[in-house]
C-alpha cells in the first residue's frame, strides 16, 4: 500500500469515528478511477467537441500528479491537477472526451523558450497492470495517443521505456481540440481494432489499463515535465 493510500484510509477512519465522513464519491477521486465506456447506437461526430450527445455520457474527474523527473534540466511542478474524462463506444470505434482547466491556450511557439499545450492517453498494449504507467519499459510496451494544440491533431505513438518514443506507421487515431472560457476540450477517436501491430486492441469486453498526461505550455512544460497518473486507471467495456 502506498503512503498516499494509507494516509487517505487513516483520514477516513478518523472521520467515521467523529461522525464527519464526507461522501464516498469525493474520497474515491484521489485513487484509480474506473472508466466505463458508454455503448451508444447513435452517431458520434469525432470533430464536434460540444455535441449534445456527450451530455448523456458520464464524466469522471481524475487527479493528476507531476511526473517523476528524468532530466535535470527539465524539472518543476506540473500546473494541471485534474482532468475530466468521458468515454463512449459505438460501431465506429471508441471516443474519449477530455477536459481540463487552463488559464491560457498555448497554441503557437511565440518565443524561443515557449512551449505548447497538449494531452495524451496511454494504454498498456498487453493489458498487463504490471506495465509501468510512466512510458512502459522492460518489454512492456505502451501505446500513446498524443494531441498537440499547435497541430490540433493526434499522433499514434509507441514506447518501451524512457527514450524509446516512436511514431507508428499506422496513424489511425484522430483528435481535435477547442479552447473556450479557460477550458480545453479534446476528443480522441480510433477504430476498436487497429492494423498497427504495436497498437492496443480495444475489441471485445474486459478491462484495459489506461493513463492520461497533460502539458501546460505556459508553465514551461514539455517532454517529461507534465501532469500524469502515477497509477493506472481502468477502462472497462
CATH of the domain at 177: 2.60.40.1190
pTM: 0.86
- Average pLDDT rounded to a whole number, residues 33-55: 93
Contacts of 97 (CB under 8 A, 6+ apart): 49, 54, 57, 85, 86, 87, 88, 185, 186, 187
Q: State whether 22 and 90 are in the same domain.
A: no
Q: Does residue 2 surpass a pLDDT of 50?
A: no
Claim to verify: residue 6 and residue 81 sit in the same structural domain: no
pLDDT digits (tens, 9 = 90+) for 224-235: 899 999 899 999
Q: What is the pLDDT of residue 73?
A: 67
Percent of the chain topping pLDDT 90: 77
Domain check: are 20 and 75 in the same one?
no
2 and 94 fall within a common domain: no
Match 479534446 to its residue by C-alpha cell: 186
What's the whole-number average pLDDT of the chain?
87
14 and 55 share one domain: no
pLDDT at position 157 is: 98
Pair 218, 157 in one domain: yes
Give the per-residue SS3 of 110-169. CCCCCCCCEEEEEEECCCCCCCCCCCCECCECEEEEEEECCCCEEEEEEECCCCCCEECC
> Given the DSSP bridges, would you call strands 153-159 and 93-101 parallel, antiparallel or unpaired?
unpaired
Higher-pLDDT residue of 10, 153 = 153
Note whether 26 and 59 are same-domain residues.
no
Q: Is the pLDDT reported for residue 23 higher than 50?
A: no
Are 25 and 64 part of one and the same domain?
no
- Same domain, residue pair 59 and 85: yes
Q: Are residues 60 and 86 in the same domain?
A: yes
Domain that holds residue 4: 1-30
The residues that bridge with 144 in the sheet, in sequence order, are: 122, 157
In this prediction, residues 214-224 reach a mean pLDDT of 94
Work out the average pLDDT over 52-64. Answer: 96
pLDDT at 113: 72
Confidence bin at 49 (pLDDT 50/70/90): very high
Q: What percent of the chain has pLDDT over 70?
A: 86
Residue 10 has pLDDT above 60, yes or no: no
> Using 50, 70 and 90 to split pLDDT, how confident is the model at 9?
very low
The number of distinct structural domains making up the chain is: 2
- Binned at pLDDT 50, 70 and 90, residue 122 comes out as very high
The string of pLDDT tens digits covering residues 131-157 is 999 999 999 999 999 999 999 999 999
> Quick one: 9 and 86 in the same domain?
no
Check whether residue 5 and residue 93 sit in a common domain. no
What pLDDT, on a 0 to 100 scale, did the predictor assign at position 142? 98
Amino acid at each position: 500500500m502506498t503512503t498516499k493510500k494509507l494516509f487517505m484510509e487513516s483520514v477516513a477512519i478518523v472521520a467515521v469515528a467523529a461522525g464527519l465522513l464526507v461522501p464516498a464519491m469525493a474520497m474515491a477521486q484521489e485513487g484509480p478511477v474506473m472508466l466505463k465506456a458508454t455503448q451508444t447506437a447513435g452517431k458520434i461526430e469525432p470533430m464536434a467537441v460540444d455535441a449534445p450527445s456527450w451530455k448523456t455520457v458520464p464524466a469522471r474527474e481524475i487527479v493528476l500528479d507531476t511526473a517523476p523527473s528524468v532530466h535535470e534540466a527539465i524539472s518543476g511542478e506540473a500546473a494541471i491537477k485534474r482532468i475530466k474524462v468521458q468515454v463512449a463506444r459505438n460501431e465506429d470505434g471508441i471516443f474519449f472526451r477530455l477536459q481540463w482547466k487552463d488559464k491560457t491556450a498555448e497554441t503557437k511557439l511565440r518565443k524561443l523558450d515557449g512551449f505548447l499545450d497538449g494531452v495524451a492517453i496511454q494504454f498498456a498494449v498487453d493489458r498487463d497492470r504490471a506495465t509501468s504507467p510512466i512510458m512502459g519499459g522492460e518489454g512492456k510496451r505502451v501505446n500513446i495517443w498524443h494531441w498537440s494544440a499547435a497541430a490540433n491533431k493526434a499522433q499514434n505513438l509507441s514506447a518501451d521505456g524512457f527514450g524509446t518514443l516512436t511514431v507508428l506507421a499506422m496513424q489511425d487515431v484522430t483528435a481535435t481540440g477547442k479552447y473556450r472560457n479557460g477550458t480545453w476540450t479534446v476528443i480522441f477517436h480510433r477504430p476498436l481494432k487497429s492494423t498497427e501491430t504495436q497498437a492496443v486492441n480495444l475489441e471485445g469486453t474486459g478491462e484495459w489499463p489506461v493513463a492520461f498526461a497533460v502539458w501546460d505550455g505556459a508553465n514551461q512544460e514539455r517532454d517529461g515535465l507534465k501532469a500524469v497518473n502515477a497509477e493506472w486507471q481502468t477502462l472497462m467495456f
